[in-house]
C-alpha cells in the first residue's frame, strides 16, 4: 500500500513539474566550473641542494625527477600538431537560429542541431538550413531542452534529449514525430533528468541521467536492458556524472566520468570493456569526449573549452587552445566533424591524416 501511494505521489509530481530551463542551464555551467579547471601542462620547478632557514630544511624538486638531477620536462605539444583543422565557423544568427545547444551528424553527412529556441534544425553538409521543427511545450514534437543532446540512428532517425519533459523524443530524418522513450521516475525505463545520449547500430538508445548519475541502455521501443551507475554502484569508474556522445566502430559506448576523471568504453552488455585513460585526470578535467580513427577528442564542458586530442594510451597529441568549444566534435564517416561553440555557433572541423 505504501509503495502504491508513493508511486501515485511520484506520478503527480511529474505532471506538475515545470522546469526553469534558463536556470538549469546556468546550474550546469556553474557546476562544471566548480568541479575544477582544466589541468594544463605544469611548469616544473627544481632546486638542487639543501637550504637551511631557521633550522627548517626545504628541498624543491621537479615532480617526477630524481633527487639532485636536472628535471626533464617534455615540451607541451604545439597547437599546429593537433591532427584536426578548423574549416569554418557559423553563428546561430547565420542559420536563423538563437543559440545552438548540441550537434549530431547522420550517415549521409546531414547535420542536426538543437537550439535554445526549442527547435531542431537540419543542415546540409555545407551548413545550409533545410528545415526546422519543434516549439516550447510538453506535447509531441515540443521541447523543454536544457543541454539539448541529439543523436542520429543508423536508419536516419533523430533522437533528442527532452530533459525538461523527462523523455527522449524520436523523429524521422525530416522531422516527423515517431515516439517518446521514458517518463518521469527512477524505475526501469524511467528518467529524472535525461542528458547525454547515443544510438548504436541496432537502434538501442543509451541515455545518461544527470540526476540519478546513471547510464541506461534502452531498446528502440524504450524498454530498459540494463542500467549502471547510481546508488549501489560498486565500480568507482562508474560512480558520478557520466557523459557520452557516441558509440564507437565496434559497438562500445564512449563514456566520460568527469567526477572519477576517467574515460571508459562500455560493452553492449553494460560491462566496462576498457578504460583507455585509467585514472588519468582530476575531477573536472574532462567532460565531453568523442573518438575518431583511434584518437580521443576531449573538452571540459566549461563555457569556452580548448580541444585536446589524446591517443589511446592517454598521451596528449595536440591542442587547439582557441577552439572555444562547448562540446567535442561529432564525427561523420568522412572525417568531418561538427561542434557547438561556447557562443552558440557551429564549427566545422576536419581530421588530418598526415
User: Residue 52 above 90 pLDDT?
Assistant: no
- Looking at the DSSP bridge assignments, the partners of residue 208 are 215
Exposed, middle or buried, 5 (CB in 10 Å: 0-12/13-18/19+)? exposed
How confident is residue 27, by pLDDT bands cut at 50, 70 and 90? low
Q: Per residue in 272-282, pLDDT tens?
A: 999 887 767 77
What's the confidence (pLDDT) of residue 301? 67
Query: DSSP label at 136?
Result: B
Tell me the domains of the chain and their CATH numbers.
79-351 (2.120.10.30)
Q: Per residue in 211-269, pLDDT tens?
A: 999 999 999 999 999 999 999 999 999 999 999 999 999 999 999 998 888 999 999 99
- Look at residues 27, 42, 35 and name the one whose alpha carbon lies nearest to residue 305: 35
Write down the mean pLDDT value for the chain. 82
CA–CA distances in Å: residue 193 to residues 32, 51, 222, 228? 16, 56, 16, 15
Distance, CA of 153 to CA of 212 (rounded, Å): 25
Exposed, middle or buried, 70 (CB in 10 Å: 0-12/13-18/19+)? exposed
- Look at residues 235, 135, 154, 239 and name the one whose alpha carbon lies nearest to residue 198: 154
What's the confidence (pLDDT) of residue 6? 42
Helices (H), the chain: 2-16, 21-34
Please give the residue that has the higher pLDDT: either 181 or 7: 181
Q: Per residue in 283-306, pLDDT tens?
A: 667 789 999 999 999 988 666 778
User: Residue 135 above 60 pLDDT?
Assistant: yes
Question: For residues 347 and 341, is the Cβ–Cβ distance under 8 A?
Answer: yes
Distance, CA of 297 to CA of 272 (rounded, Å): 20
Query: DSSP label at 54?
Result: T
- Look at residues 206, 188, 184 and name the one whose alpha carbon lies nearest to residue 197: 206
- Look at residues 288, 325, 285, 320 and name the one whose alpha carbon lies nearest to residue 305: 325
Stretch among 6-20, 177-191, 196-210, 297-311 having the lowest mean pLDDT: 6-20
User: Residue 325 above 80 pLDDT?
Assistant: yes
- Looking at the DSSP bridge assignments, the partners of residue 58 are 51
∠ Cα 303 33 83 (to 5°): 50
Amino acid at each position: 500500500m505504501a509503495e502504491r501511494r508513493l508511486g501515485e505521489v511520484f506520478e503527480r509530481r511529474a505532471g506538475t513539474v515545470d522546469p526553469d530551463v534558463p536556470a538549469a542551464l546556468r546550474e550546469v555551467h556553474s557546476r562544471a566550473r566548480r568541479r575544477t579547471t582544466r589541468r594544463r601542462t605544469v611548469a616544473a620547478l627544481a632546486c638542487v641542494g639543501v637550504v637551511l632557514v631557521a633550522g627548517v630544511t626545504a628541498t624543491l624538486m621537479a615532480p617526477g625527477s630524481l633527487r639532485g638531477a636536472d628535471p626533464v620536462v617534455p615540451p607541451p605539444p604545439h597547437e599546429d600538431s593537433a591532427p584536426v583543422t578548423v574549416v569554418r565557423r557559423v553563428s546561430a544568427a547565420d542559420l536563423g537560429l538563437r543559440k545552438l545547444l548540441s550537434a549530431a551528424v547522420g550517415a549521409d553527412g546531414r547535420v542536426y542541431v538543437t537550439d535554445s529556441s526549442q527547435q531542431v534544425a537540419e543542415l546540409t553538409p555545407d551548413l545550409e538550413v533545410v528545415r526546422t521543427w519543434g516549439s516550447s511545450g510538453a506535447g509531441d514534437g515540443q521541447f523543454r531542452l536544457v543541454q539539448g543532446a541529439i543523436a542520429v540512428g543508423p536508419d536516419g532517425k533523430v533522437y533528442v534529449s527532452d530533459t525538461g519533459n523527462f523523455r527522449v523524443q524520436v523523429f524521422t530524418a525530416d522531422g516527423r514525430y515517431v515516439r517518446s522513450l521514458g517518463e518521469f521516475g527512477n524505475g526501469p525505463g524511467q528518467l529524472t533528468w535525461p542528458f547525454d545520449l547515443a544510438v548504436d547500430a541496432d537502434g538501442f538508445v543509451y541515455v545518461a541521467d544527470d540526476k540519478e548519475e546513471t547510464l541506461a541502455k534502452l531498446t528502440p521501443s524504450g524498454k530498459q536492458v540494463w542500467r549502471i551507475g547510481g546508488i549501489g554502484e560498486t565500480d568507482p569508474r562508474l560512480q558520478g556524472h557520466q557523459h557520452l556522445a557516441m558509440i564507437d566502430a565496434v559497438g562500445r559506448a564512449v563514456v566520460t566520468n568527469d567526477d572519477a576523471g576517467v574515460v571508459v568504453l562500455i560493452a553492449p552488455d553494460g560491462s566496462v570493456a576498457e578504460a583507455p585513460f585509467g585514472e588519468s585526470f582530476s575531477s573536472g578535467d574532462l567532460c565531453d569526449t568523442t573518438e575518431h580513427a583511434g584518437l580521443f577528442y576531449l573538452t571540459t564542458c566549461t563555457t569556452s573549452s580548448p580541444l585536446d586530442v589524446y591517443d589511446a594510451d592517454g598521451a596528449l597529441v595536440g591542442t587547439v587552445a582557441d577552439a572555444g568549444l562547448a562540446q567535442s566534435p561529432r564525427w561523420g564517416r568522412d572525417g568531418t566533424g561538427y561542434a557547438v561553440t561556447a557562443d552558440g555557433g557551429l564549427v566545422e572541423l576536419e581530421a588530418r591524416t598526415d
